[in-house]
Amino acid sequence: MRIHASTVFIPGATSGIGLALALRLRELGSTVVIGGRRGELLDQLAAEHPGLGTVQIDTADAKSIEAAAEEVLAAHPDLDVLVTMAGIMRAEDWTTPEGFLATAEATVTTNLLGPIRLVAAFIEHLRSRPEATIMTVSSGLAFVPLEVTPTYNATKAAVHQLTDSVRLQLAGTSVRMVELVPPAVRTGLMPGQETSDVAMPLEDFVAEVVALLEAHPDADEILVENVKPLRYAEARGVRAEVVASLNSRDPHARQR
């Protein structure tokens, strides 16, 4: 993935990892458009960061994705990078349907259907570009489960498998599939996570991600050091120990 002279669309980037990555890519010379649901927040971010493009999008709404794609491509016909950043993480209690069903359905819609619909909206355009990238965003929890977020874990595991599978289908085309695998990062994804001692500082995470993208532009996965214990727990034969350790910590400050 080229990070210095690309045209990038990052839906779900009005805060957290998405916004921090967008601003860093813009500093490095890329044209960046962020997407979010709240028009007033997008206006504020555009005013605070001149040159940063914005488009209103709700990644849980198929029609909104279609409309946003038309707007982005009309304004940026040279778009060559899509980052499917949007996601939600909610605690669930699977002992009663009231404790999980509505949350589970919303999580699947945002975290799994959202990326699928985004790829559908942009794939034909990206295939027309001489070099293009789709970056998906999974999680360390795709590989080791957190007890309190079953559906989040499942959707991120699905994103990982989806990325691997689509990469096979796109082999030989101009489109690369890259998977970003965050650990816990100090964002507002879960209550208390922004100040958690076990979460990685946001600026450190983005700096390491950008360094990895620059050093390994053809990488299939972007893995900061903090996520490797989860990513490789099974391969190293220590999955049970890692699961126990992960789930003994504060449930509001976990691996992303």
Task: Residue 50: count other Cβ atoms within 10 Å of its Cβ.
Answer: 6
Amino acid at 248: S
**CA nearest 210: which of 6, 28, 33, 10?**
28
Strand arrangement of the beta sheet that strand 175-180 belongs to: 53-56, 31-36, 7-11, 81-84, 132-137, 175-180, 221-222
Residue of 100, 122, 143, 152 with catalytic role: 152
Q: CA 42 → CA 19, 73, 116, 215, 240, distances in Å?
A: 11, 18, 24, 32, 43
Catalytic-residue membership of 232: no
CA 153 to chain centre: 14
Q: What is the 3-state secondary structure (H, E, C) of 120-142?
A: HHHHHHHHHCCCEEEEEECCHHH
Counts for the chain of helices (H) and strands (E), in that order: 9, 7
Helices 114-128 and 62-75 pack at an angle, to 10 degrees, of 30
The DSSP element (H or E) to which 152 belongs, if any, is helix 150-170
Residues 250, 17: Cα–Cα separation, whole Å: 21
Q: What is the DSSP string of 48-72?
A: HSTT-EEEE--TT-HHHHHHHHHHH
Supply the residues annotated as catalytic.
Answer: 152
